[in-house]
Structure 1
């Protein structure tokens, strides 16, 4: 990864080639977005526009050719988050802005992908009785109708939240590259200390609960608001490992289980981030160790 970062920063031509080339490949568009974030974080928008414009052109062609706006959305979204991080030097503010970005994604998807999402929703509705047979049989007619109405917003929210997640992930990779090249150890200090303040945690929690219980069209809000909490939960685990309160094998286990059992680990990370916002585990553990050390002396 360091070699790729050095190649990107060697010249504008090489940077443009990486951004445009990766964006043109469906499996590596996130890598092109990360390269764009690296350029923006280092040089700002004015001095990076020429490099990014080629990537934007490739993403636009991809949209027009294959009717797929996701590549363009991630490139624009991650670049916007990079500008926010560069200006504010605050991961908390950047993660908060990612919620607005996810909402924008959902609006665009509901317009551009409306027919595709609706068609997929109808297919899911047809097979729901077979997927959740026992549960579905117990539902009343009105409850089945409400469940059917939730499928489209859930699908829209899932896709929007996934694009939001990838956008933040691309920014993280770009920031990591920047630290490796120009500020060794800086990324670790930043990421390990990410903790959402209690006011923001409560706001996100209210949005999640409202999205789950206050109408089918708001379900996507719960999904989008969960993304900052997931990254805060990951930062908490990394921070505890860095402070040697957890062994390193916890990280390996975390990411393996995250890939295999995302439906279980994802909400667990959200819950951890909520409790960390309320309790601040890292500060409490550090304070406890300091008290224990002073008692020994």
Structure 2
């Protein structure tokens, strides 16, 4: 990964090549978006926008020929998220921007891409009908708004992950240890948490088309909650065993996800890491 990051930072041609080829091959689209984000984070808006512009060409081609808007929306979301992270220096602002991009993506698709969404609904209908039968009718029928929510949530999540990869690359090259410190300290302030919860509640009661859109606003709390766990375990020097155990429990015990979100919301007001006593012997 270090060699790839160094190659990207050698010049415009190298950055455009990695970003364009990555975006054009669906499996590596995340890598391509991260390449553009790395340039944006290190060199600023002008250089970053240059790479994003050329990476947009294969992204548009994939959307038009391959009928997949994912790489396009992820690239745009990543660019906005990376720019705001560079400008503000805070992950909370960047994540809030990613949420906004996810919601805008879903809204644009719902109102201007209904035919595209319907194609996906029709494609998934046989599988969803089978799942509905297995759940004895408890699983609701898929609608266009649900697909829009899934694409919007994917845009938000992959944009943040791409910027995280870019930030890790940046720290690896220019600021060793900086990425870990940022992740250990990542926390949503109470103002952003309040807005996210309010938007979730608003979407919940805005009609059937928006019934799952609140998930887009829920994802930042999952990210913040995971950062809290990493920060507590790391700062208290508890070792990787506890971290592995936590993720195993998270996979096996689904209620832990809800608890993680609740703890992240509480952390917005309480700031557990600030109140945490230093590890023994430090």
**So what's the TM-score if we normalise by structure 1?**
0.83
CA distance, structure 2, for counterparts of residue 72 and residue 262 of structure 1: 35
CA distance, structure 2, for counterparts of residue 253 and residue 156 of structure 1: 35
Contact 1:85 1:94 in 2 (8 A): yes
- Partner residue, 1:36: 36
CA distance, structure 2, for counterparts of residue 185 and residue 278 of structure 1: 27
**So what's the TM-score if we normalise by structure 2?**
0.87
Cα separation, partners in 2 of 1:37 and 1:248, compared to 1, 3 Å: same
Question: Is 1:126 the equivalent of 2:129?
Answer: yes
Of 28-37 and 88-97, more deviation after overlay is shown by 88-97
- Partner residue, 1:26: 26
Cα separation, partners in 2 of 1:227 and 1:195, compared to 1, 3 Å: same
Cα separation, partners in 2 of 1:125 and 1:3, compared to 1, 3 Å: closer
1:221 Cα offset (Å):
3.1
Cα separation, partners in 2 of 1:155 and 1:246, compared to 1, 3 Å: farther
- Partner residue, 1:200: 192
Higher alpha-carbon Rg: 1
- Partner residue, 2:269: 278
**Structure 2 counterparts to residues 1-297 of structure 1, below 5 A:** 1-110=1-110, 111-112=112-113, 113-119=116-122, 122-123=125-126, 126-127=129-130, 129-133=132-136, 136=138, 147-148=140-141, 151-213=143-205, 215-244=207-236, 246-255=238-247, 260=251, 266-286=257-277, 289=278
1:63 Cα offset (Å):
1.3
CA distance, structure 1, for counterparts of residue 88 and residue 121 of structure 2: 39
SS at match of 1:196: coil
CA distance, structure 1, for counterparts of residue 21 and residue 132 of structure 2: 44
Contact 2:186 2:228 in 1 (8 A): yes
Aligned-residue CA RMSD (Å): 2.7
CA distance, structure 2, for counterparts of residue 17 and residue 206 of structure 1: 42
CA offsets 1:113-159 (integer angstroms, 9 cap, x no match): 222244257546634541221x64xxxxxxx9xx44x7443332122
CA offsets 1:44-102 (integer angstroms, 9 cap, x no match): 12123333332111111111211211111111110111111111111111111112111
Contact 1:156 1:220 in 2 (8 A): no
Contact 1:239 1:282 in 2 (8 A): yes
Question: Unmatched 5+ residue regions in structure 1?
Answer: 137-143
Question: Unmatched 5+ residue regions in structure 2?
Answer: none
Contact 2:85 2:94 in 1 (8 A): yes
